[in-house]
């Protein structure tokens, strides 16, 4: 192993030394802002569609979100493997392996993005039909998905590149890139939907343009990096060993996300059974909840990055502190934002629609899911710590059993007996409680073993 001194740049962070709390906050704030900005720009899609193209277009865009997540989560999960791997090598100051990991990750990102274009083009309609998408919505949903998936290479490049930057503590530049691309997204939304009356097609095209801009900036930042993360486009290749390591860590995360999305697709299918008005209310409410989730997810990513760097540096004594501080922070975020979103639910939902019935159904969802969202954050922070330690299969199996399979079981039993939106939504907080408790027990078990073989590697 060849190592080389890595000079710390202004956008990088040494997570292995010094007080943790301030560094966790400094790392997480740009992540929170990035997620919120991304959702604001996504919300702009929903608001523009809902206001200027009507309820059916709003329902069409909303009904595709769980299916899109289902199709891309497997590849996005591999970016988690890239984050952990680069972070671990960075903590160990292993320059050669960082270089191999970066080039492998970016090559895998592009290849997977190209593959997803074909999946979106040919699988959109049959999958939406399987979800029982209403006839008055399905054509618009298919059109949106097919155009959206043309931008998959850019989306994958951004996600993998941002994961690499996060692994060395750089959460600021992805925020800048998202700000620029998001502004472009909003501008083209307004032009294509309002001026040219392109409806869902205009929203999808605007999304592709904005994602391409963020991907360009990611590539540029890595290419111009003179240190460990330098990306040489001529050296793009797949290093089999590094790809296998990324898959070992990231594939279980991707499979978990994919199978979670299956349960969400089933829930979306169940929501579709209530008709377009309920679908529209669910779309608006879930979009609002996304702001809460993305703020908490930033703490999950923080736990993941901090843990992986400290594993590489063999700083065992910092692992527990990282977990406890991240659990405290995510609980505060989930409580304040989750309950606050419900309390301000009516005026917030009014931004998406003028229909009181749509708002009424949106409030039902917020009252159950948003108010309990801190449980989801706690669950995810445990997952972040476990994956940072290199344990990816364990949290996958726990999450699939405690949350995903539970929700599927719920849909085919309790929901069939009590066919209401309340009985459907309550499955979320119950599954979060079960899964978080099991994750906590798994962490304590791994801790008792001395964090496995990782600290001795």
Residue 91 makes CB contacts below 8 A (sequence gap 6+) with: 15, 16, 308, 309, 310, 311, 312, 313, 315
43 and 203 Cβ atoms separated by less than 8 Å:
no
Q: Which helix (H) or strand (E) holds 101?
A: helix 95-130
Burial (CB count <10 Å: 0-12, 13-18, 19+), residue 187: middle
Burial (CB count <10 Å: 0-12, 13-18, 19+), residue 195: exposed
Q: What share of the chain is helix, strand, coil (3-state, %, to 5)?
A: 85, 0, 15
Residue 19 makes CB contacts below 8 A (sequence gap 6+) with: none
78 and 203 Cβ atoms separated by less than 8 Å:
no
Two structure tokens written together for 110: 């592009």
383 and 395 Cβ atoms separated by less than 8 Å:
yes
C-alpha–C-alpha distance, residues 303 and 300, integer Å: 5
156 and 75 Cβ atoms separated by less than 8 Å:
yes
Listed residue (83, 107, 102) closest to 229, CA to CA: 102
250 and 73 Cβ atoms separated by less than 8 Å:
no
pLDDT at 443: 92
DSSP H helical segments within 190-239, as ranges?
199-224
Spans in the chain with pLDDT lower than 50: 1-6, 455-457
C-alpha–C-alpha distance, residues 135 and 113, integer Å: 30
Two structure tokens written together for 46: 């929903």
Listed residue (296, 327, 310) closest to 84, CA to CA: 310
pLDDT at 291: 84
pLDDT at 261: 67
């Amino acid at each position: 192993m060849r190592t080389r001194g890595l000079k710390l740049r202004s956008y990088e962070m040494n997570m292995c030394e010094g007080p943790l709390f301030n560094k966790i906050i400094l790392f997480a704030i740009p992540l929170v802002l990035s997620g919120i900005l991304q959702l604001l720009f996504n919300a702009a899609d929903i608001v523009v569609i809902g206001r200027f193209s009507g309820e059916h277009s709003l329902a069409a865009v909303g009904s595709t979100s769980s299916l899109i997540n289902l199709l891309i989560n497997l590849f996005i999960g591999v970016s988690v493997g890239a984050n952990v791997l680069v972070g671990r090598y960075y903590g160990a100051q292993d320059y050669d392996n960082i270089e191999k990991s970066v080039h492998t990750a970016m090559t895998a990102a592009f290849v997977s993005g190209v593959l997803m274009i074909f999946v979106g083009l040919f699988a959109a309609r049959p999958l939406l039909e399987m979800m029982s998408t209403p006839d008055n919505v399905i054509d618009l949903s298919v059109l949106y998905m097919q155009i959206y998936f043309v931008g998959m290479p850019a989306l994958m490049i951004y996600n993998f590149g941002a994961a690499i930057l996060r692994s060395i503590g750089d959460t600021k530049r992805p925020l800048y890139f998202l700000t620029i691309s998001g502004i472009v997204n909003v501008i083209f939304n307004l032009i294509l939907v309002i001026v040219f009356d392109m409806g869902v097609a205009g929203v999808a095209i605007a999304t592709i343009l904005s994602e391409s801009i963020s991907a360009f900036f990611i590539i540029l930042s890595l290419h111009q990096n003179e240190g460990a993360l330098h990306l040489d486009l001529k050296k793009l290749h797949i290093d089999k060993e590094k790809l296998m390591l990324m898959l070992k860590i990231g594939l279980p995360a991707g499979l978990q996300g994919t199978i979670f999305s299956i349960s969400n697709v089933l829930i979306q299918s169940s929501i579709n059974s209530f008709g377009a008005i309920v679908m529209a209310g669910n779309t608006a409410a879930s979009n609002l909840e996304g702001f809460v989730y993305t703020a908490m997810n930033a703490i999950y990513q923080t736990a993941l990055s901090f843990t992986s760097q400290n594993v590489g540096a063999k700083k065992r004594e910092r692992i527990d502190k990282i977990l406890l501080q991240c659990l405290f922070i995510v609980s505060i975020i989930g409580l304040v934002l989750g309950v606050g979103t419900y309390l301000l639910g009516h005026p917030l939902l009014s931004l998406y629609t003028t229909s009181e019935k749509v708002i009424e159904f949106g409030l039902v969802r917020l009252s159950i899911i948003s108010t309990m969202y801190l449980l989801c954050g706690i669950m995810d922070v445990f997952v972040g710590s476990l994956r940072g330690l290199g344990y990816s299969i364990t949290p996958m199996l726990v999450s699939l059993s405690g949350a995903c399979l539970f929700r599927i079981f719920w849909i085919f039993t309790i929901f069939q007996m009590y066919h209401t939106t309340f009985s459907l939504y309550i499955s979320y907080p119950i599954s979060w409680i079960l899964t978080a408790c099991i994750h906590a027990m798994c962490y304590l078990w791994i801790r008792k073993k001395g964090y496995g073989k990782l600290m001795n590697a």
